[in-house]
Amino acid sequence: MKFTWIKWSALPVAVLLAGGVAMAQDQTPSQSQSGSSAPAAAPAATPAPAAKPTVAQRKENQQDRIAQGVKSGQLTAGETSKLETKEAAINGETKADRAANGGKLTSAEKTQINGQQNQLSKQIYADKHNANTANPGNSKVGQRQENQQDRIAQGIKSGQLTAGETAKLENQQKGINQQVKADRAANGGKLTTGEKQQVNKEQNAASKNIYNKKHNAKTQPQAKPKQ
């Protein structure tokens, strides 16, 4: 009888101990140690510094800005020709430096090229925001001129036209535009039938030149995004 009482009185103690073990196993280590159910706060991530553009990316950015200026009329043919001549010179220097160093540029060469591109960038901005604009007008001659500029702008943007090719094409357009301006000044703002035919002939030759340069083997390499 005494033994039976001890057995039944020990049973509630065993149940309480079992329940305590189960509750301890359900708790996470952090909860067990701190006694709090709130998760630990994750450390704030530090943003990575922005990568500097490569020489190729900088060159492509300049070409995109020039193409936009040609397309919008902010850059005249003469301004574009000068900008592209400068860009061609930088590209030629970069090519020569790479050839002399096994295809790579030294830190000093990169710094020098970046300085030259900074100067060109300022010139692009100044030319795009001065009073000179390409305003072809609504005449057939003006529409033809605008069409040629659009094709050149597309060639710059796509990389089909190199800086050197663009400079030559824009010089050709500059010559035609100056001729049209002089003819209009001599005829009270208008062009004679013969002058229109002459301008159209010159634009036909320029059109073929644009096509040939956009479809030859020369291309403006596009920058690859940094991995």
pLDDT in tens, 119-167: 999 999 999 999 999 988 889 999 999 999 999 999 999 999 999 999 9
Q: Tell me whether residue 161 is in a domain.
A: yes
Question: Does residue 16 lie in a domain region?
Answer: no
Is 210 inside a domain boundary?
yes
Domain count, the chain: 1
Handedness of CA 24, 25, 28, 33 (dihedral sign): positive
| Tokens coding 16 | 């309480």
Residue 71, in any domain of the structure: yes
Residue 115 lies in a domain: yes
Look at residue 177 and tell me if it is in a domain. Answer: yes
- Sequence-ordered list of residues with C-beta below 8 angstroms from that of 109, at least 6 positions apart, any chain: 94, 97, 101
Question: What's the CA gap between 163 and 221, in Å, rounded?
Answer: 11
Instruction: Name the residue among 141, 118, 149, 9 with its Cα closest to residue 55.
Output: 118
Rg (CA), the chain: 36
What is the reported pTM? 0.74
> Is the torsion defined by CA of 194, 198, 201, 206 positive or negative?
negative
Could you report the per-residue pLDDT of 5-30, keeping only the tens digit for each? 444 455 444 444 444 544 444 444 44
Domain that holds residue 178: 55-214
Whether 226 is in a domain gets the answer no
Check the CA dihedral 85-90-91-93 and report its sign: positive
- 7 belongs to a structural domain: no
